[in-house]
Amino acid sequence: MSNGNSAGTNSKNSKFIMGGLIIALIIGILAPFIASGDPDGLESAAGKIINGNALESNLQEIGLEEEGTVAPSPFADYAIPGMDKIGEIAAMLIGILLMMVLGYGVAAILKKKEQIAN
Amino acid sequence: MHIPDGFIPTWESAIFWIISIIFVALAIKWAKNNMDEKSVPLFAVLGAGIFAIQAINVPIGMGTSGHMVGAAMASMIFDSPYAGILLLALVLLIQGLFFADGGILVMGANIFNMGVICAFVGYYAFKSLRSRGISIAAFVGGWLALFTSAIVCSLELTIAGTFPLVAGLSAMGLYHAIIGLIEGVITAVVLGYIASARPDMLKWTGGKNE
C-alpha cells in the first residue's frame, strides 16, 4: 500500500465495517420476527432418540431439573422477561453490541505490536 | 447445535474443555502473530454479524429448524482456521453466559464442535477447492463444516450414552445435511461479495489493492 492511498483505504475500510455493523443490527431487529420456533437439529434429534435414563442421571449429577445451563442467564432464550417482542429485539441488540465490543477488545489486545520502523 | 448442560456427563465436559482450551490457546498465539490494525474492526464486525445471523433459525421441514454457525466463514476470510476458532469461542461465551444458548459446563464441547471442527473442515475444504472458484469452494466448505460438526456432536452424545450410535448419526446427519445448505449458501454469498468488492481484505488474493 503506498502512503498516498492510505487515507482513501481507511475511509473505504470504515465504510465496509459500518456497513457490516448495520447489516448485523438489521438482522438483529428482524430475528425475533422471522426466526422459526421449531427446535433445532440437535433438539429435534434429542426429542426422538435421547436416552432418558442417561439424561436423568446427568441432570442429577449437576443438580438441574431439565437440560439447559447451570448458570443464570439475564436474557435466556434471547428475551427479557415480561417485555415481549421489544425485549427480544433489545436482547438481540445488546448481544450484537456486546459481541462487537468483546471482539474488538480481544482483537485489539492480541494484535501484533507495531513495528518500530513505522 | 448448541449442546445444553445435561446432555453429556461432567467427566466428558471436562475433557472437551481441556481440548478446547488448547485450541483457543493456539488461536490466541495465531492472533498475536497475524492480527493487525486492519483485522481488528473486521474481526469485531464479523463477530457481531455471526452472532446476529445465528439467531435466525430457518425451518427445514420435519418440525425442525437450523441456523448458520460461521466459523468456516471467518476462517476463510482471515485465511486461518484459528480465526474461526477464536471468533466462535467468543460468540459461544456470550451466548452461554447471557442468553442460555448452550450450557456452561458443555461449552468446551460446543467450542470444539462449532469452533474447532467447523473451522478446520471448512477452511481446508475451501483452500483445496479455491482454484475451482471462490463461491463453489465457500459453499462446499460451509456445508461440509456444518455436516462434519454435527456428526462429531452425535458421536460425543453416543459416548455420553445419551444418543444411540446409528439413530444418532442418522438423525443428526439428515438434519444437518439440510442445515448445511444454509451455512454453505451464506458462506458463498459473503465470500463471493468480499472477493469481488474488497479483495484487498482477503490475504490469499495476493494482496491485490494493497
Nearest chain A CA: its distance from B52 CA (Å) = 5
Residue of A nearest to B49 (CA): A24
Q: Do the Cβ atoms of B49 and A23 come within 8 Å?
A: yes
Instruction: Give per-residue pLDDT as tens, B177-208.
Output: 999 999 999 999 999 999 999 999 898 876 45
Residue pairs between chains A and B whose CB atoms are closer than 8 Å: 251
- The dihedral built from the CA positions of residue B26, B103, B179 and B73, taken in this order, carries a sign that is negative
Banded model confidence at residue A11, pLDDT cuts 50, 70, 90: confident
Alpha-carbon gap, residue B129 to B16, rounded angstroms: 30
* Residues whose CB falls within 8 Å of the CB of residue A50, separated by 6 or more in sequence, listed in order: B7, B162, B163
**Region A8-16 average pLDDT:** 83
Grid-cell match 483445496, residue found: B128
Secondary structure element (H or E) that encloses residue B64, with its range = strand B64-66
SS3 A68: strand
Given the C-alpha cell 473486521, which residue does it identify?
B42
Q: What percent of chain A has pLDDT over 90?
A: 80
- Provide φ and ψ at B198, rounded to 5°: -135, 60
Whether the per-residue pLDDT at B75 is higher than 90: the answer is: yes
Q: Are B3 and B153 in contact (CB under 8 A)?
A: yes
Q: What is the mean pLDDT of chain A?
A: 90
Nearest to B138, CA basis, from B204, B93, B85: B204
Share of chain B above pLDDT 90, in %: 94
Q: Lowest mean pLDDT of A78-92, A102-116, B172-186, name the range.
A: A102-116
Residue partners of A113: CB distance under 8 A and separation at least 6: none
**How close does chain A come to B164, measured CA to CA in Å?**
7
Residue pLDDT, tens place only, B88-101: 999 999 999 999 99
CB contact (8 A) between residue B6 and residue A62: yes
Contacts of B166 in chain A (CB under 8 A): none
- Which of A31, A61, A100 shows the shortest C-beta gap to B9? A61
Residues of chain B contacting residue A35, judged by C-beta atoms under 8 Å apart: 55-57, 65, 67
- Find out whether B36 and A11 touch, Cβ atoms under 8 Å: no
pLDDT of residue B206: 63
Q: What is the ipTM of this complex?
A: 0.93
Within 13 Å and on the Cβ side, how many CA atoms surround B132?
Answer: 11
Alpha helices in chain A (DSSP H): 6-34, 41-49, 52-62, 84-110
Confidence band of A16 (pLDDT split at 50, 70, 90): confident
Q: How far is A92 from chain B (nearest CA, A)?
A: 7
Give the pLDDT band (50/70/90) at residue B173.
very high
Chain B residue whose CA is closest to A33: B56
Cell of A84: 415481549
